[in-house]
Amino acid sequence: MKPESAVVSITVNGTPHRLEADTRRTLVDLLREDLGLTGTKIGCGQGTCGACTVHVDGVRVLACLLLAVTVEGGQVLTIEGLGTPDGGLHELQQAFIDRDALQCGFCTPGQIMSGLGCIGEGRANTAEEIRESMSGNLCRCAAYPGIVAAIADVAEGQGA
Amino acid sequence: MTGARTPPEGRLPRVDARDKVTGAAEYTYDHSEPGQLHAALVCATFARGVLRDIRTAAAEVVPGVRLILTHRDTRGAVGPGLALMDGGQFHTSFDPLAGPEVRYHGQMVALVVADTPEQAEQAAALVELTAEELPAQVDPYAADEADDIEVFALRRGDPAGAVTHADLVVEATYETAAQLHQPIEPYATNARWSGDRLTVWSPTQWVVGEKHGLAAALGVEPDQVRVISRHVGGAFGGKALTLWHTVYTAEAARRLRRPVRLGVRRGQMATLGSFRPASRHRVRLAARRDGTLLGYEHACRTQGSRSDVLPLGGTALSARLYRFGAVAVREHVVPTDVITPGFMRAPLEFPTSFALECAIDELAVAAGLDPVELRRLNEPEVDPVDLLPFSGRNLPACLDRGAELFGWSRRQAPVGSMADPRTGETLGWGVAAAYYPGYGGGPTFCRARLSGDGVVEIALAAQDPGTGLRTALAQLVVERLRADPRRVRISLGDSDLPLAPMAAGSCSSATAAAAVEDAADRLLRRLRDLARKHWPGQEPAPGQAVPDRHRIVTPGGTSIDFGEIARREDGQAVTVEGSWIPEGLTPGMVADARAGRFVQAHETTPTAYRASYGAHFAEVGVDRVTGRVRVRRMVGVFDVGRVLHAAMLKNQLRGGMLWGVGHALMEQLHVDKEHGRFMGVDLGSYHILTHADAPAVEVELVTPPGPHADPVGARGAGEIGVVGSSAAVANAVFHATGRRIRRLPIRAHDLVDQ
Ligand code: FES
Ligand code: FES
């Protein structure tokens, strides 16, 4: 093993992986470069845009701020892991389409993963609450009204 | 909140939305090639001067490092690149690796390639620069006016004379800040050579221009270069032109004979490409007591660089907004030590409209008139500059409908007279007009191909950086051919496809639509002919076979699937070409476009002046203790010509209006005078609107009264949403507080007593 590497065991979208990773490699780069899961985007690499949002052990996190080796043993969920096994969409993905909650789409995977977190945390009761809880996810196309509506649709459907 | 799952208007949902919500859409940095290497940039850490030494020893020994390109290695091997203004495709003619000269802080001075991104980053951080530094001036208002370059002047009548017999004169100076595009997708490049053929994946608004720009700079023929840009993560003008890091990534790949990928870091974006320059405007309006305008003078100074001269004043457009009487406008560019600024969403219109639309509000106050009324009062019959009739001017209708939707009649005119008892905020209601020229677009070609499985594929080298072009075109094909949307495919973003223009000037959708409409009509004629040929007994009278649900129905009642027709034609696909050459473009200009030069028909035709119009209404809440301004709601009504797909247009218009809110309240590049640079260029310091800042926005479209400007009649909506939006906010702030803030962004301390 190279001196700057370490072995990390990580489960991504239900599939366990054991990988040798550069100790400087971030979780988002591990997902993208080592596992080819490029749905998670990098907008800043600094924790300021939210494009890299994934879930680790059920909690939304910024994958650009986590070194991959620190996620040892973690359960990671990415945008690629959301749909149903038969290729169907998750209801929040469908709600994003229904509300046209995107333009360029670059922030979208992060918005959806963060939106799921927002709903799961019980912070999607009002539009204002959603906006507060989603403010770590920037959308330069400013598709914000649609994003909030999509999250509200799903939260309401779940009786949140 | 409504729980209804209403599908978006315009029938077809965004056709690439599924790929975007699943993460399947491939953006440049998502693309990988076998054996790909990784690049990182070294940028100048001083403002201006000459590099004496670039020490690379420490970087070279980082494991995995393959190449470090500096000006010492590249001289003569690359370039030159012509800037857009000089007939080329480059953002700036200044090649940052052409020599030891550093013209601005953050200038790219080296490119490092290594086996992994981490190694490249580490090595880039170890490159040491020594330089002979020179003083730098980044603040345009501190620059010597003697260096100003006059780029435009226009006069109609004698507005200065009008001042002498005017009852009312408004004279003021307005400023807009330097701003960044900040698309969420950073710049990135992927380059791969196969022998002497280059393929570049690049987020660009202009695959054709990028291809020609790269070919010229790399010394190869254009047909050796292919540029792919299927999805672009936001562009807003910042990805319009070829940037030098793209060239050098391709050059590194050529030297290493390996594919190379570069991911630009957020903090480097500001000094590798375009930004919106700071601007200062001196405006004088003269009017009669009843509000009738007599004169408009507007002089603006816009920040520029020392490498290129780019006129971005926009007064030629604002001079046509009202019946001004007399007009005199002048524009200067102020050279400063920055990378050349460039096009950013409504580059000409945003700054100018902020100044003019605030001045109009000041005049309304001076005249004691409602600001909507004042605008209506000065509605021109003809374009005041060229005395041409307007094509589809609909500003009064936008103002009226906007006022109605907003509830403007309930506005209490006295300053500070409206409040929200629940939040304790003082409320202000403001209005501003929006306009955007109706550029005619460039020559556009497209291919329509029907294959045996019945799929209709429309292909052209246009781009959809989030504008919804794919969806609008799919909608058009579905309507035109009565096609099954599941069997319509729109292919864009590839320079190998038929020629199409840059996604710019809010006209690319209209021109693409015109070419696609032509191709669809040709395909339909072809299908009818083939139906006649292969089903002879069922022959329709000419022009009678009608399409229905992806089928041709003959008068005899036979219904033939499109795919069956293609299969019958020797199993071959049926291919037709469509095109659209905008009025006013000569064959020479079409040839220029083919050669990769920027060609765009003007908004002024021999018979008409064509533009889009709109009106913004904004409600702000101001906390009188802290000075905090919140935009609580906005209404925008626009006439952007024929509507190809209402949901796509409205999404863009809303986005533009929200940009205006960000421009009004937070967006600003601060100048670090000591170090001669912009500071706070990343998203931690340069604030853009977040979810929490975004007000409710209602957008409505009104349809044009007059004849359409062209057969398609659509004028695009990418930019007009931001024009006037900030002015509406500033005017609302005045209505709430009585403070006329003439400099953007409006800050809390502008509104509290110091
Ligand atoms: S990429 Fe992680 S927050 Fe921006
Ligand atoms: S859709 Fe473009 S950044 Fe959000």
Choose the weakest-confidence range: B366-375, B488-497, B525-534, B609-618.
B525-534
Which is the closest atom of ligand 2 to the Cα of A142? 4
Q: Is the pLDDT of residue B191 over 80?
A: yes
Q: Is the pLDDT of residue B17 over 50?
A: yes
In a shared domain, residues A116 and A61: no
- pLDDT for position A3: 66
Q: Mind giving me the DSSP string for B489-540?
A: EEE-SBTTSSP---S-TT-HHHHHHHHHHHHHHHHHHHHHHHHHHHSGGG-P
Look up the domain containing A140 and give its range. Answer: 91-157
Among A51, A80, A109, the domain boundary falls at: A80
Residue B28 CB neighbour total at 10 angstroms: 27
Which of A78, A101, A133 minimizes the C-alpha distance to B7? A101
> Does residue B745 have a cis bond before it (omega within 30 degrees)?
yes
- pLDDT for position B7: 36
In a shared domain, residues A74 and A106: no
In a shared domain, residues A149 and A102: yes
- pLDDT for position A45: 97
What's the average model confidence in pLDDT over B574-592?
Answer: 95
Tell me the ligand closest to A144's alpha carbon: 2
Does the residue A37 lie in any domain?
Answer: yes
What's the average model confidence in pLDDT over B116-131?
Answer: 97
- pLDDT for position B705: 55
Q: Any idea of the CA torsion for B739, B743, B746, B752, to the nearest 10 degrees?
A: -40
The torsion angles phi and psi of B239, rounded to 5 degrees, stand at -115, 25
How many domains is chain B partitioned into structurally? 2
Q: Which residue has the higher pLDDT, B548 or B115?
A: B115
In a shared domain, residues B590 and B611: no
Residues in chain B: 754
ipTM over 0.95: yes
Q: pLDDT (tens digit, 9 = 90+) per residue, B140-183? A: 999 889 999 999 999 999 999 999 999 999 999 999 999 999 99
- pLDDT for position B547: 80
- pLDDT for position B544: 59
In a shared domain, residues A65 and A96: no
Strands (E), B233-392: 260-263, 279-287, 293-304, 326-335, 390-391
Q: pLDDT (tens digit, 9 = 90+) per residue, B33-55? A: 999 999 999 999 999 999 999 99
> Would you tell me which residues 14-73 of chain A have a C-beta closer than 8 angstroms to some C-beta of chain B?
22, 24-25, 29, 32-33, 36-46, 48-49, 51
- pLDDT for position B5: 36
In a shared domain, residues B454 and B522: yes
Tell me the shortest Cα–Cα distance from A73 to chain B, in angstroms.
Answer: 23
Q: Is the pLDDT of residue B353 over 90?
A: yes
Q: Is the pLDDT of residue B460 over 50?
A: yes
In a shared domain, residues A74 and A98: no
| Candidate from A41, A107, A144 with most ligand 2 atoms within 8 A of CB, to mutate | A107
Does the residue B579 lie in any domain?
Answer: yes
Among B573, B594, B615, the domain boundary falls at: B594
Q: How confident is the model at residue B2 (pLDDT cuts 50, 70, 90)?
A: very low
Amino acid at B357: E
% chain B with pLDDT above 70: 96
B506 Cβ contact list (under 8 Å, min separation 6): B436, B439, B612, B640, B715, B716, B717, B718, B719, B720
In a shared domain, residues A10 and A76: yes
Look up the domain containing B584 and give its range. Answer: 444-594
Residue B684 maps to which CATH number?
3.30.365.10
Does the residue A86 lie in any domain?
Answer: no
Q: How confident is the model at residue B8 (pLDDT cuts 50, 70, 90)?
A: very low
Among B572, B594, B616, the domain boundary falls at: B594
Q: How confident is the model at residue B685 (pLDDT cuts 50, 70, 90)?
A: very high
In a shared domain, residues B430 and B459: no
Does the residue B244 lie in any domain?
Answer: no
In a shared domain, residues A76 and A39: yes
> Would you tell me which residues 308-367 of chain B have a C-beta closer than 8 angstroms to some C-beta of chain A?
none
Q: pLDDT (tens digit, 9 = 90+) per residue, B316-331? A: 999 999 999 999 999 9
In a shared domain, residues B508 and B611: no
Rg (C-alpha) for chain B, rounded Å, is 27
In a shared domain, residues B434 and B452: no
Whether chain A has a CB inside 8 Å of the CB on B606: the answer is no
In a shared domain, residues B469 and B559: yes
Tell me the shortest Cα–Cα distance from B616 to chain A, in angstroms.
Answer: 17
In a shared domain, residues B724 and B742: yes
Ligand 2 midpoint to CA A49 (Å): 11
Does the residue A85 lie in any domain?
Answer: no
In a shared domain, residues B408 and B429: yes
Does the residue A106 lie in any domain?
Answer: yes
- pLDDT for position B345: 97
Task: Give B97's DSSP letter.
Answer: T
Ligand 2 midpoint to CA B673 (Å): 33
Among B529, B560, B594, the domain boundary falls at: B594
Ligand 1 midpoint to CA A112 (Å): 14
Does the residue B527 lie in any domain?
Answer: yes
Q: Is the pLDDT of residue B624 over 70?
A: yes
Ligand 1 midpoint to CA B445 (Å): 39
CA distances from B663 to B306, B473, B729 (A): 26, 31, 10
Residue nearest atom 4 in ligand 2 by C-alpha distance: A139
Partners of residue B298 on adjacent β-strands: B283, B329
What is the token pair recorded at B153? 């002047």
For helices A144-157 and A108-120, angle between their N-to-C axes, nearest 10 degrees: 40
Distance (Å, whole) CA B654 – CA B658: 6
Q: SS3 helix, strand, coil % of chain A, rounded to 5?
A: 35, 20, 45
Among A80, A112, A137, the domain boundary falls at: A80
In a shared domain, residues B522 and B637: no
In a shared domain, residues B448 and B432: no
Among A80, A104, A119, the domain boundary falls at: A80
- Site from B20, B28, B665 to mutate, A interface, most A CB atoms within 10 angstroms: B20
How many domains is chain A partitioned into structurally? 2
Q: What is the pTM of this model?
A: 0.96
CB distance A41–B186 less than 8 Å?
Answer: no
In a shared domain, residues B718 and B693: yes
Does the residue B515 lie in any domain?
Answer: yes
Residue A54 maps to which CATH number?
3.10.20.30
Cβ contact B561:B498 at 8 Å? no
Distance (Å, whole) CA B254 – CA B693: 46
In a shared domain, residues B502 and B632: no
Tell me the ligand closest to A136's alpha carbon: 1
